[in-house]
Structure 1
């Protein structure tokens, strides 16, 4: 669901930055979706990130990781892309997460063959951060966690979630640019 501001201005710009501000990126336009993920992988990675010196957490008390899915062609690096360090849960995992070396801030997740980045919501200033529209993979939430019914709670990635990914990919001409190509906006 688009915010009123996004409906008025489809070219809205948001920034994401590490805690110290050395790594910054800009996102333009409406995100694919704002969601919170409860999968075991996000929980495991979040715990590992929280153990880094000075790192801020990305996993909430309920075990969910809020993020904003953004098309890769709608991202531009403003500073510090050379400060990013890749983390994978398994050496051959298709998902890699990036942390800033300067202050150990988890920044985003990339499915390497995907056309989007999942920017951790904690990296976006509170006033610019869209509210989650859905919770996904809630079947993996920690035992005893009860979720509100204020937004949809999906046990697995929903049809709506997958539709949004597909329509974004169609709009990109079925391209999935490599992360290295996001140094400026791809058109």
Structure 2
């Protein structure tokens, strides 16, 4: 499989993760409920693996996210354009998700063969990009959405801090699982490579 095919496969898998979890479909284990939304992790992972395709892969991921929101909201019998989530703040998802994509891209650009340094870069870039994403998405919703009738600094901070750790935790779990898969696939590829034969 060449590099383009590998990248296309990764794009399809990460996009599927974004769409299926954003739809909040029930799992086969009904008592567990739907899987947590992997959108934030998907944009971070996409930035890492699809750095060379960012010009059109990022818009594709954004279009998929908006399309899913449209399907979910319309499927509940509500008008997408008048739904409380689709306030002027909704369009701040573009720079918010862009921050996650940039975090993955920067990690890929600056990673090294030194695993400890790369792990530190992973933690730092994920933490920074999730923080910026949350500031933009939550902050814009709090200050611009008509849902909050009397916004205050104290109210914003409480809302920000209440949701920050849950969003960070979900993103970190999905990215952690992606790291495990990445390492496992790398090991399989390394072991499957033919070794040079020694002379008899």
TM-score (structure 2 length as normaliser): 0.24
User: Could you say which structure has the greater relative contact order, defined with CA pairs below 8 angstroms and 6 or more residues apart?
Assistant: 1
Structure having the larger proportion of residues in strand: 1
Structure having the larger proportion of residues in helix: 2
